[in-house]
């Protein structure tokens, strides 16, 4: 479907492994292709721990391809993939142990909300080992052993969820002079690399914005306009929301609570577990936080609940377009609805 749409737009698809030969040439399986401008969008790949036995572990794609969940699963890491897959595996009946490098999971999200989610997972039987310091994986008969700082753990399957790294090696970046670091390819405000006619977009670039599919799509649309002459302006990122699909979920957009405290912004916290509309879904945990700047405009929001993603989507336009309280008050929402319920507690 996607391939057909691309080809119908007059775009040629060349399959194979490509490397940069010079600033205008890419070689794919021995054949050269030239262009006035090039865009690198090689994305990320799962990280593999540099420890003995690392080949015994699996990544997120392997997990999604499992036909049957193992009885005992060790998950290394404490980010998005770790907690999302811990939620799935636990709900399906697996005994899950999450081995953390430090003492805090999901550092990008509100610490109190993360703690609530972790506590909930523990009540469901998921075990968390803090400061684990995983040092090796071994195979013993039909089971695997995870060795870490204070002991070892016997399991049936190991998921390495220690992050993702940019695909910058072996594609000719050094040869043509495109600079990069451990976070990705370095670009300016026009997504231009250190080589004038070479651009980069998506997860492979070094940026402060969340490395998410919607972000990559936005960057690609920007480059389409820039390179076709429809725009000559630098990229202007919108407010980009993010969510972790645990149960309950945590979602956020805009200024975080930590940033708000540093800037002295107004922080409004709501505990809505007993709020009548939320009880329709019989949710056990519903909390959200609104952030307001010195002008009283909403600049950030975060929520923990089973429908946190829907809440953030509903509030997102208010933050992106800087609506005043009077303007928000003029918005008449369907009632009863999640949006109406949420915004009634915004102050």
The residues with which 229 forms a beta bridge, in sequence order, are none
Sign of the dihedral through C-alpha 272, 275, 277, 283 = positive
- pLDDT of res. 20: 97
- pLDDT of 281 reads 66
Predicted local distance difference test score (pLDDT) of residue 343:
85
- pLDDT for 285 equals 84
The CA distances from residue 205 to 18, 39, 70, 167, 199, in Å, are 18, 11, 36, 10, 10
* 270: its two tokens: 């709501």
Residue 282's pLDDT is what?
A: 66
- Distance set, CA 85 to CA 49, 69, 98, 244 (Å): 18, 11, 10, 11
Domain 54-164 architecture: 3-Layer(bba) Sandwich (3.50)
Q: What is the pLDDT of residue 268?
A: 95
- At 148, is the secondary structure helix, strand, or coil? strand
244-345 adopts what CATH topology? Answer: Enolase-like; domain 1 (3.30.390)
Phi-psi region of 133 (alpha: psi -120 to 50; beta: other; left: phi over 0): left
Indicate if 244-345 has the same CATH topology as 54-164: no
Enter the tokens of residue 341: 């319920």
d(CA 16, CA 104): 41
Predicted pLDDT at 233: 98
For residues 187 and 219, give the distance between their C-alpha atoms in angstroms, rounded to a whole number: 12
Q: What is the pLDDT along the chain (347 residues), one digit of tens a residue?
A: 678 888 888 888 999 999 999 999 999 999 999 999 999 999 999 999 999 999 999 999 999 999 999 999 999 999 999 999 999 999 999 999 999 999 999 999 999 999 999 999 999 999 999 999 999 999 999 999 999 998 999 999 999 999 999 999 999 999 999 999 999 999 999 999 999 999 999 999 999 999 999 999 999 999 999 999 999 999 999 999 999 999 999 999 999 999 999 999 999 999 887 777 667 666 778 899 999 999 999 999 999 999 999 999 999 999 999 999 899 989 888 888 888 888 887 77
Q: Are 341 and 277 in contact (CB under 8 A)?
A: yes
Boundaries of every domain in the chain? 1-35, 54-164, 244-345
DSSP string of 103-139, one letter each residue? S-S-TTS-HHHHHHHHHHHHHTT-EEETT----EEEE
Residue 71's SS3 state is: coil
- Distance, CA of 185 to CA of 177 (rounded, Å): 11
- Could you tell me the sign of the dihedral formed by the alpha carbons of 83, 86, 90, 95, in that order? negative
DSSP line for 160-187 = E-S-EEE--TTSSHHHHT--EETTEE--
Q: How high is the pLDDT of residue 280?
A: 67
Report the distance separating Cα 33 and Cα 15, nearest Å.
Answer: 12
Q: CA–CA distance from 165 to each of 99, 156, 157, 230, 268 (Å)?
A: 20, 26, 23, 33, 36
The whole-number pLDDT of residue 303 equals 96
Q: What is the pLDDT of residue 347?
A: 72
What is the pLDDT at residue 77?
97
Query: Which residue in the block uniquely carries the two structure tokens 């030969």?
Result: 21
193 Cβ partners below 8 Å, 6+ apart? 40, 178, 179, 185, 186, 187, 199, 200
321: left (phi over 0), alpha (psi -120 to 50) or beta: alpha
Does residue 297 contact residue 324 with C-beta atoms inside 8 Å?
yes
pLDDT on residue 156: 98
Q: What is the DSSP string of 233-262?
A: SPP------EEE-SSSEEEEEES-HHHHHH
- Is the pTM above the cut of 0.75? yes
The whole-angstrom separation of Cα 163 and Cα 49 is 10
């Amino acid at each position: 479907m996607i391939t057909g749409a691309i080809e119908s737009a007059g775009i040629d698809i060349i399959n194979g492994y490509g490397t940069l030969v010079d600033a205008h040439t890419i070689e794919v399986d021995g054949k050269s292709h030239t262009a006035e401008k090039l865009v690198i969008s090689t994305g990320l790949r799962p990280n593999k721990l540099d420890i003995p036995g690392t080949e015994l572990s699996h990544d997120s794609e392997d997990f999604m391809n499992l036909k049957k969940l193992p009885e005992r699963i060790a998950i290394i890491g404490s980010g998005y993939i770790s907690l999302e897959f811990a939620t799935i595996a636990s709900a399906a009946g697996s005994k899950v142990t999450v081995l953390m490098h430090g003492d805090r999971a999901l550092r990008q999200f509100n610490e109190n909300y993360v703690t609530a989610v972790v506590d909930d997972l523990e009540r469901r039987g998921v075990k968390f080992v803090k400061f684990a310091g995983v040092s090796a994986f071994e195979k013993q008969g039909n089971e695997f052993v995870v060795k870490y700082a204070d002991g070892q753990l016997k399991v049936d399957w190991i998921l390495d969820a220690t992050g993702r790294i940019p695909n910058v090696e072996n594609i000719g970046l050094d040869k043509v002079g495109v600079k990069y670091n451990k976070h990705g390819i370095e670009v300016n405000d026009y997504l231009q690399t250190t080589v004038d006619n070479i651009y980069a977009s998506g997860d492979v670039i070094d940026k402060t914005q969340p490395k998410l599919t919607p972000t990559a799509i936005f960057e690609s649309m920007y480059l389409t306009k820039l390179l076709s002459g429809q725009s000559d302006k630098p990229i202007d990122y919108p407010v980009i929301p993010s969510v972790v699909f645990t149960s309950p979920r945590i979602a956020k957009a805009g200024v975080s609570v930590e940033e708000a405290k540093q800037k002295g912004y107004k922080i409004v916290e709501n505990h809505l577990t007993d709020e009548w509309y939320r009880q329709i879904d019989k949710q056990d945990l519903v909390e959200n936080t609104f952030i307001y700047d010195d002008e009283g405009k909403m600049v950030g929001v975060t929520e923990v609940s089973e429908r946190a993603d829907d809440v953030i989507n509903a509030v997102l336009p208010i933050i992106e377009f800087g609506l005043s309280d009077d303007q928000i008050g003029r918005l008449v929402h369907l009632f009863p609805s999640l949006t109406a319920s949420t915004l009634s507690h915004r102050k």
